[in-house]
Amino acid sequence: MKKVFILLLLISSITASAQQSDSAWIVNNYIKKEFLVPMRDGVKLFTSVYMPKDNNEKHPILIIRTPYSCAPYGEDKFASYWKSPRKAFLKENYIYVTQDVRGRWMSEGVFEDVRPFNPNKTGNEIDEATDAYDAIDWLVKNISNNNGKVGVFGTSYPGFYANMAAHSNHPALKAVSPQAPVSEWFLGDDFHHNGAFMLMDGFSFYTGFGKPRPKPTTVGSLGFPFPTKDSYDFFLRTGALTNFTKLMGDSIQFWKDLMAHPNYDAFWKARNARTHVDKINPGIASLIVGGLYDAEDCYGAWNLYAAIESKAKNNNKLVMGPWYHGQWGANDGTHLGNVEWGSNTSDWYGKNIEVPFFNYYLKGKGNIDQIKEANIFFSGANEWRTFSTWPSSNMQMQSYALGKNGLLHKTAMQTSTSYDEYLSDPAKPVPYIADVLPERTQEYMTDDQRFAANRTDVMVYQTEVLESDLTLGGPIVADLMVSTTGTDADFVVKLIDVFPDDFENKSPTEYVMNGYQMLVRGEVMRGKFRNSFEKPEPFVPGKPTKVKFTLPDVAHCFKKGHRMMIQVQSSWFPLVDRNPQKFMNIYEAKNSDFQKATIRIYNESSQIQLPVLKN
């Protein structure tokens, strides 16, 4: 153990020395300027520009538009890019630009969450596409020594702005990379999944981010002062969503919008960032990037790629790695939680995908032959694979039945009178993790599920030990036959890789991996939306009813000697808000509305369709 400690100290010392060297190089080779860039309606957006001192050649411009601040403010204060792999762009002499979007931090104007794209703008009407256009136009005309070529990228909310920049179709814009992009806040990203409200993220985020900012400022808002570090206890004690609304107060507009639009109405449809991707100019290349284990915007990456692929005519590529939210932009991509990937996947991505992509389109440097249509990391096998289409033409959907006695097995559709039954009690919801922690973890996407398998309100189905590798690549379809004694219910389906009992313990956290139940994919479906997100319907108590929904794509190999497991439950707390298990507007529910319900999962006729890759 002493040798390991000494080695870690040595690595830390080397890393610190390298960062100091990079820091000195960037400060010595760049100057920073700050501008208020005018938009077409007169509003000015605060913009930080890092410019190379090298004037021997003209340089491309790379932009991040963000609601999260382009701090530090002050031309003598440099952002610590030397601590990030993104320092590669400065080593390549890019003009590196960050901009506070309209109404945030030091920019003027009024902020609007996921401001809808307007395809029919007239006069000085604005949206995020026009702000991107005007920012690009100003930069290429006013920043000296630029080569007239611009790229835009960003992760999460900035990924949404990168997508909107592509809609601007400015002639200087050559490449965009929306990464974990916010694309759809009712069906799959951040704050709703299949209509179910993601309570923990929604409340924790908007208590700070959502506070009004009446004038430009360099000081951010504080979030909610949680009274305990036990998040499960806090969210359970607080109770119904109406109680969270009281805690939120009356000043946070988007929380009020969330509570006012419980169904998939015009408000949400206008904020679907995939609707108008057909407007993207064919000359703008796009690189969509996301994490297989992204707890926030996994849906956005898969589905924005699919939308551009089906509607637009540009050069569009996809990269999905084994990452938490934004991990591809971090230094360490060797593992997530307890699960190792066998290499530094983040470093590989930066060197082989991200930098070559922008260099090719913005500098005319190198080639991108190695960047295929779909570049996907397969966990389990721990290897990168490339495909000419996604999903692959070699993928076939295979049905697995939730059988008697907890057996998960291949089958054609059958019917059966047998069922598994559990009591879903909102007073004792199934936790999403076993630990007591103050915040939502990013590691839960690969966490051990043994704690849940031991609960009586979680149904467990698993295969026999696999006699050969089984590789899945594509979407999962849960096709359940259920009944409930209530008039509404949630259904959480989890796909799990069960490690062998003699699995060699390879965990960066020294967690016991023997028999580990690795979450590969989990998703929730709010039952009342089973037939329509626009027009919810109650269940008829006791009546067998089909609940069918699609989970985000997976790319995972179940190795020989492992088992494949499905868990089904009706709560996932406090990740997802509790369903009162009666048909109503849950955002108006009171504590007294929550009731127990007996849920049945009918054997054989309840099936999971899995995307099996052949060869």
Q: How many CA atoms lie within 13 A of 42 on its CB side?
A: 1
How would you label 225-250 residue by residue, b for 16+ Cβ within 10 Å and e otherwise? Answer: eeeeeebbebbbebbbbeebbeebee
By CB atoms closer than 10 A (0-12, 13-18, 19+), residue 593 is middle
Q: For residue 72, is the peptide bond before it cis, meaning its omega torsion is within 30 degrees of 0? A: yes
Q: How does residue 16 score in pLDDT terms, banded at 50, 70 and 90?
A: low
Instruction: Please state the domain extents for the chain.
Output: 2-184+271-387, 395-613
Provide the pLDDT for residue 21. 72
Name all contacts of 259-264 with Cβ < 8 Å and 24+ positions apart. 259/587, 260/587, 262/585, 262/586, 262/587, 263/195, 263/529, 263/533, 263/534, 263/535, 263/536, 264/186, 264/187, 264/195, 264/529, 264/533, 264/534
Q: CA 71, CA 15: separation in Å to the nearest integer?
A: 24
Provide the pLDDT for residue 11. 46
Q: CA 210, CA 206: separation in Å to the nearest integer?
A: 4
Mean pLDDT of the chain: 95
Q: How does residue 17 score in pLDDT terms, banded at 50, 70 and 90?
A: low
Whether 588 contacts 353, CB under 8 Å: no
In this predicted structure, the answer to whether residue 368 has a pLDDT above a threshold of 80 is yes
Cα angle 39, 126, 71 (rounded to 5 degrees) comes to 55
SS3 assignment for 198-253: CHHHHHHHHHHHCCCCCCCCCCCCCCCCCCCCCHHHHHHHHCCHHHHHHHHCCCCH
Identify any residues that bridge with 117 across adjacent strands, giving them in sequence order: none
Q: CA 576, CA 135: separation in Å to the nearest integer?
A: 38
Cα angle 386, 442, 296 (rounded to 5 degrees) comes to 70
Q: CA 302, CA 297: separation in Å to the nearest integer?
A: 9
CATH superfamily of 2-184+271-387: Alpha/Beta hydrolase fold, catalytic domain (3.40.50.1820)
Please tell me the least confidently modeled range out of 3-12, 364-373, 424-433, 528-537. 3-12
Identify any residues that bridge with 151 across adjacent strands, giving them in sequence order: 62, 175
Identify any residues that bridge with 8 across adjacent strands, giving them in sequence order: none
Q: What tokens were used for 189?
A: 């990203």
> 406 by DSSP, 3-state: which?
helix
CATH superfamily of 395-613: Galactose-binding domain-like (2.60.120.260)
Provide the pLDDT for residue 9. 47
Provide the pLDDT for residue 10. 47
Which tens digits make up the pLDDT trace of 186-243? Answer: 999 999 999 999 999 999 999 999 999 999 999 999 999 999 999 999 999 999 999 9
Provide the pLDDT for residue 509. 85
Q: CA 204, CA 183: separation in Å to the nearest integer?
A: 20
Q: CA 362, CA 534: separation in Å to the nearest integer?
A: 43
Q: CA 231, CA 233: separation in Å to the nearest integer?
A: 5
Provide the pLDDT for residue 460. 98
> 375 by DSSP, 3-state: which?
strand
E-strand ranges in 322-437 read 335-336, 339-340, 374-378, 383-387, 395-402, 408-410, 419-424
In this predicted structure, the answer to whether residue 122 has a pLDDT above a threshold of 60 is yes
Provide the pLDDT for residue 504. 85
Q: CA 486, CA 543: separation in Å to the nearest integer?
A: 10
In this predicted structure, the answer to whether residue 8 has a pLDDT above a threshold of 70 is no
Averaged pLDDT for residues 368-378 = 97
Q: How does residue 508 score in pLDDT terms, banded at 50, 70 and 90?
A: confident
Torsions phi, psi for 544 (to 5 deg)? -60, 130
Q: CA 596, CA 613: separation in Å to the nearest integer?
A: 41
What pairing do the DSSP bridges indicate for beta strands 95-100 and 44-52?
A: antiparallel
By CB atoms closer than 10 A (0-12, 13-18, 19+), residue 112 is middle
Closest CA to 286 of 267, 307, 265, 261: 307
Q: CA 233, CA 226: separation in Å to the nearest integer?
A: 11
- Write the CA distances from 22 to 25, 91, 126, 298, 436, integer angstroms: 5, 9, 39, 32, 39
Torsions phi, psi for 219 (to 5 deg)? -110, 125
Sign of the C-alpha dihedral, residues 430, 436, 438, 444?
A: negative
Q: How does residue 18 score in pLDDT terms, banded at 50, 70 and 90?
A: low
Whether 374 contacts 316, CB under 8 Å: no
Provide the pLDDT for residue 507. 82
- Give residue for tokens 């507007």: 585
Q: CA 382, CA 599: separation in Å to the nearest integer?
A: 37
- Write the CA distances from 390 to 168, 287, 305, 323, integer angstroms: 27, 14, 9, 19
Provide the pLDDT for residue 41. 98
Whether 422 contacts 598, CB under 8 Å: yes
Which tens digits make up the pLDDT trace of 244-290? Answer: 999 999 999 999 999 999 999 999 999 999 999 999 999 999 999 99
Sign of the C-alpha dihedral, residues 454, 458, 464, 465?
A: negative
Sheet (strand 490-498) strand order: 459-462, 563-569, 490-498, 517-526
